[in-house]
Amino acid sequence: MNKNSITSIINHVEKIVKKDYSGELHHGWAHLNRVRNYAVYIAEKEGADAFIVELAALMHDIAKIKYGSTVKNHAKKGALMAGIILEKLDLDNNTIKKVCSCINTHSRREPPKPKTLEEKCLFDADGLELVGTVGILRTALYAAYYDKTWNDMLRKVGSRISKAKFYTSTGKKIAKKRIKFVKKFYEKMELELNWKKENKKKKD
Ligand SMILES: [Fe+2]
Ligand SMILES: [Fe+2]
């Protein structure tokens, strides 16, 4: 496929997701676009097919937006929805199959796990949203939305970090720095939440 066709397909899909998925803070366009940027970077670094990965990243959470954040099997549903969108475009079946397979394997909670390099690139790109500053804010939003306590939030982040699996060396490298920062942030937060004058340290 030539460069013009690639650009026109990407632009077309971008328009669809931007129009339909603009409003939601947690999994809306901004999230899709950040994951897309990470995914393309990781794919290029790892020598994966960046076109497949970019298309998949642009559509990876479309089922969450359509059916809500708590929908079951959003990866599988999203893959089916993406297939319907992509079948209308000038793409061969093999490409469509690979894009849908990336979407089907991108979730940390839902099986199946990623196997191909392209699937791993999307998985890692989406995972970078769980760690780092955006990860902290997304967890805070989750806590506010579900009326959770700060301590629930700390526990959630703790489990997220301990489960933070990354496959590619590029994804691992970016994640490592972010996880370090998030751990420090939450250690400090824990100190503040449990602050007592008798435990006061100089750093508090
Ligand atoms: Fe997802
Ligand atoms: Fe996502």
**What is the rounded CA–CA span in Å between residue 114 and residue 159?**
21
Task: Measure 106 CA to ligand 1 centroid, in angstroms.
Answer: 6
Task: Measure 59 CA to ligand 1 centroid, in angstroms.
Answer: 10
Return the exposure string of 22-55: e unless at least 16 CB atoms fall within 10 Å of the residue's CB, then b.
eeeebbbbebbbbbbebbbbbbebbebbbbbbbb
* Tens digit of each residue's pLDDT (9 = 90 or more) over 39-49: 999 999 999 99
pLDDT, residue 145, reads 80
**Ramachandran quadrant class, 170 (left: phi over 0; alpha: psi -120 to 50; beta: rest):** alpha
Higher pLDDT, 196 or 31: 31
pLDDT, residue 124, reads 98
Are 131 and 176 in contact by the 8 Å Cβ rule? The answer is no
Could you state, in order of their start, the residue ranges of all structural domains in the chain? 1-112, 130-204
Architecture of domain 1-112: Orthogonal Bundle (1.10)
Task: Measure 109 CA to ligand 2 centroid, in angstroms.
Answer: 12
Residues with CB under 5 A from ligand 1 (ion): 61
pLDDT, residue 201, reads 63
Task: Measure 64 CA to ligand 1 centroid, in angstroms.
Answer: 7
| pLDDT over 70 (residue 204) | no
Task: Measure 123 CA to ligand 2 centroid, in angstroms.
Answer: 9
Q: Which ligand is nearest to the CA of 77?
A: 1
Are 26 and 41 in contact by the 8 Å Cβ rule? The answer is no
Task: Measure 186 CA to ligand 2 centroid, in angstroms.
Answer: 23
